[in-house]
Amino acid sequence: MLNIELSEWKSRLQSGKFRFLSGKRLISLIIVVSISSFVFADEGMWTMDQIDKLDLEKKGLKIPLKEVYNPDGTSLFNAIVNLGGGTSEFVSANGLILTNHHVAYGAVQRASTQGTDYLTNGFLANSLEEEIQAPGSSAMIIDEIRDVTNEVIMAGAKIKNLVKRQKALDAKIQAITDAIEEGKEDVTARIAAMYEGQQYLLYIYKRFDDVRIVYMPPLAIGNYGADIDNWMWPRHTGDFAYARVYVSPDGIGRKYDPENVPYKPKKWLKISTRNLNNGDFTMVMGFPGQTSRYRTSHSVKYNRELYYPDWLKIAGDIINILEKAGEESPGAAMAVAGQRKGIANYQKKWGGTVASMDKCDFLNETFKQEQKFKQSINSDRKLKKKYGNILDDIGTLYKDQIANKKHDDLLNYFGGYWGFIGTIPAVANNIYYVAKEREKPAIERDPNFSEKDVQRNIERLHYRYMGFYEPAQKQLFKYFLEKSEKLPVNNRVKGIDEVLAKNNMTAAEYVDFAFENTKLKDTEYVKTLINLKSAEMVKLDDPFINLAKAIYVENEASRKRNEKYGAEITELRKNYMEALRLMSDEAVYPDANSSIRFTYGDVEGYKPRDAVQYTPFTTLGGAIEKDTGVSPFDMPAKLKELYKARDYGNWADPDLNDMPIAFLHTTDITNGNSGSPVLNAYGEMIGIAFDGNLEAMLSDWKFDPAIQRTISVDIRYVMFVTEKYAGADYLLEEMGLK
């Protein structure tokens, strides 16, 4: 699945603390003339302004480029909707959007209460009145894209100290976005650093906080195959859901209000009623989260040998704890399901990434390409002077990171890195941090601190508690406390040691004590604390606030260290990227960073191994072959009856002589693209992207055209289920199909 379910820690990865910026495989740049034109034919997550360089007409596009993207008018681009960790798209004049089942999953889980399990059973609103709120969901469309490179860069032009320079840039970015958002309730401004900071693009969004669920198929369709089939082909998941975007009667995006009315978008997508064939042109727009296509060997080594293994170990332990807790009751299972799912998704992805790295000896490959980079740079005196030390300097920075890794992993738990699995420790940590930041002179504050974010976090606080299941949270808290205890002294979180010593308790005892005595389980109480001074907070003697206070010094030190690291590595990577672009004579796309991107390719299978060919379409017949009657292969009886009766409406594929479910195409996408519309050469919607394939798990690091595929649910299956299974003819009418 390609959403950013764990957006909490993903965004943190992208922010100051773990600023993971990025070395495109040199082979495509240095030997650019000989190979880039065909080997990487479909590679690239292009910014919208780059699409005129892609020669799309030649590649099969049948409509004018301006119909795809027109900054001065209306184009398909305007139908694309950002949905937090995923993508969605308008499909009617009345604000109806389509996205993935797994993107809507969290919201629907939150909307489910005991007795109304919308996840398992699905949900269909038979009219606007029956649509239910999707708690915590915000949708955004892009009103404008503006290049603010000069403005941002000039802010730091005269500052030599890299940390200070970065702070100045961050402050400038904040100032620009603040100015735009100022006084506008439904505007969000974001600036994305392209090419590691060579370019800054400002995206001005209109935001809608009232999103309602329209139709969600049952789990046995929307998540058919579940974790077993996740990242796999052949795939038979009907991974789609409908929602609707609401605004105030005067068109302002705002929170849920009974007075709100469906939003009228200026552009919506037409559902294709054409047949779809092997080799057909496809294009995708969406919000890919993060790639690392231009990394040096130091980064590869750090991730392969340290980051991924540590992450996989902790993730595995967390999942075990959640699963055990979930066995207690159906309610418990539902409470932990979303957290488990999000982590399990990345567990499969990053486990596959590690295996793929090893299979192609990626570290060695990167190292060899770096040697070529060095040779090229060193052959020119000027280049050598400017770029000759980059690689060594990057290596030096990584050494320090490695030394602090295990210690910082523990702080991450308290920092909310693992999403909602440590609700109270993270809330305590956050409110104490807010108090301490406010007590600092403005100049010394964390550049990521913003009063606006604080307000927003307070407003959304109850969402953090929605998956709160105390037995699981206690076990997880205990796990992290004990993990610290098992480390060598210099890696331990000293604040934890202090608190345990002071209370004369074991970790397990402190866990019971803390959960018994804390008042932070009550969100209304938490809200009353947000304007207290740090000293006042400490006086409350809450066990979690006491812990937050105890680890604060370490948190600050870690923050400072990572701030310095971030500023320095960013500068080095920017220079490295500059050198790479200098040496390329073709357009280079920037790494993904959750800003909107365009990618194209064609419908195509692949060869996963010797003598095996995956063909690009799966069918309802194939889904039924997998049916065991037991979840996750528990095909609903009605779907089997429709299959038996060949009651497909107009949606069957004449060549397959069956109902298509999913298809493969060569577009270059990643997490965050989930829910993106797949369009044909005529700009009509033919599918919804929802996954990549396990063989291409290295895709965030390296594009391999032979094996990297997007897996999309076929729009014909979406329409068939909507019409024949759900009987929601009115939706087809709304989309102009009846």
Catalytic residue positions? 102, 239, 674
Burial 448-473 (b: 16+ CB within 10 A, else e): ebbeeebeebbeebbbbbbbbbebbb
- Cβ proximity to its own copies, 404 vs 615, nearer residue: 615
Q: Which of 405, 440, 720, 671 is nearest to 552 (CA)?
A: 440
Measured distance between the N- and C-terminal CA atoms of the chain, rounded to whole angstroms: 32
Single out the residue of 236, 436, 464, 716 in contact with its own copies (rule: CB under 8 A).
236
Q: Tokens for 74, please give them.
A: 């209306």
Contacts of 453 (CB under 8 A, 6+ apart): none
Coil, strand, or helix at residue 603?
strand
Residue 632 interacting with its own copies (CB under 8 A): no
- Cβ proximity to its own copies, 501 vs 611, nearer residue: 611
Residue 614 interacting with its own copies (CB under 8 A): yes
Residue 623 interacting with its own copies (CB under 8 A): yes
Give me the least distance between CB of 705 and its own copies, in Å please. Answer: 18
**From 72-80, 231-239, 448-456, 504-512, span contacting its own copies (CB under 8 A):** 231-239
Residue 233 interacting with its own copies (CB under 8 A): yes
Give me the least distance between CB of 610 and its own copies, in Å please. Answer: 2
**From 16-24, 66-74, 328-336, 603-611, span contacting its own copies (CB under 8 A):** 603-611
Residue reference for tokens 């009605």: 638
Beta strands 139-147; 199-208: pairing state: antiparallel
Q: Tokens for 33, please give them.
A: 């003339």
**From 30-38, 217-225, 230-238, 700-708, span contacting its own copies (CB under 8 A):** 230-238
- Cβ proximity to its own copies, 388 vs 605, nearer residue: 605
Please check whether residue 321 is in contact with residue 402, taking contact to mean a CB–CB distance below 8 angstroms: no
What's the rounded Cα separation, in Å, for the pair 251 and 253? Answer: 7
Single out the residue of 616, 672, 683, 705 in contact with its own copies (rule: CB under 8 A).
616
Residue 225 interacting with its own copies (CB under 8 A): no
**From 283-291, 534-542, 610-618, 691-699, span contacting its own copies (CB under 8 A):** 610-618
How far, in Å, are 256, 343, 442, 529, 675 from residue 452 at the CA level? 20, 29, 15, 17, 29
Residue 469, H or E segment: none
- Cβ proximity to its own copies, 122 vs 234, nearer residue: 234
Q: Which of 465, 502, 466, 496 is nearest to 478 (CA)?
A: 496
Number of residues that bind its own copies (CB under 8 A): 19
What's the rounded Cα separation, in Å, for the pair 295 and 298? Answer: 8
What's the rounded Cα separation, in Å, for the pair 499 and 510? Answer: 9
**Which residues 292-351 are close enough to bind its own copies by CB under 8 A?**
none
**From 14-22, 49-57, 550-558, 616-624, span contacting its own copies (CB under 8 A):** 616-624
What's the rounded Cα separation, in Å, for the pair 489 and 431? Answer: 28
How far, in Å, are 98, 135, 337, 484, 579 from residue 117 at the CA level? 21, 15, 12, 38, 54
Residue 485, H or E segment: helix 470-486
Residue 238 interacting with its own copies (CB under 8 A): no
Q: Tokens for 118, please give them.
A: 């919308």
- Cβ proximity to its own copies, 181 vs 634, nearer residue: 634
Residue 456, H or E segment: helix 451-459
- Cβ proximity to its own copies, 408 vs 714, nearer residue: 714
Residue 710 interacting with its own copies (CB under 8 A): no
Single out the residue of 625, 647, 655, 733 in contact with its own copies (rule: CB under 8 A).
625
Q: Omega before 447 cis (within 30°)?
A: no
Single out the residue of 316, 471, 621, 632 in contact with its own copies (rule: CB under 8 A).
621
Give me the least distance between CB of 122 and its own copies, in Å please. Answer: 24
- Cβ proximity to its own copies, 427 vs 623, nearer residue: 623
What's the rounded Cα separation, in Å, for the pair 677 and 253? Answer: 23
- Encode 344-367 in three state secondary structure: HHHHHHHHHHHHHHHHCCHHHHHH
Single out the residue of 249, 609, 628, 654 in contact with its own copies (rule: CB under 8 A).
609
**From 43-51, 323-331, 420-428, 608-616, span contacting its own copies (CB under 8 A):** 608-616
Residue 605 interacting with its own copies (CB under 8 A): yes
- Cβ proximity to its own copies, 362 vs 477, nearer residue: 362
Residue 12 interacting with its own copies (CB under 8 A): no
Give me the least distance between CB of 632 and its own copies, in Å please. Answer: 16
Give me the least distance between CB of 225 and its own copies, in Å please. Answer: 12
Residue 382 interacting with its own copies (CB under 8 A): no
Single out the residue of 555, 619, 666, 671 in contact with its own copies (rule: CB under 8 A).
619
Transcribe 701-731 into DSSP letters: T---TTT--EEEEEHHHHHHIIIIIS--HHH
- Cβ proximity to its own copies, 585 vs 610, nearer residue: 610
- Cβ proximity to its own copies, 233 vs 373, nearer residue: 233
Single out the residue of 442, 612, 630, 645 in contact with its own copies (rule: CB under 8 A).
612
Q: Which of 107, 49, 63 is nearest to 460 (CA)?
A: 107
**From 541-549, 563-571, 620-628, 630-638, span contacting its own copies (CB under 8 A):** 620-628
Residue 622 interacting with its own copies (CB under 8 A): yes
Alpha helix locations (H) across 274-329?
297-302, 308-326
Residues that bind its own copies (CB under 8 A): 233-234, 236, 605, 609-619, 621-623, 625
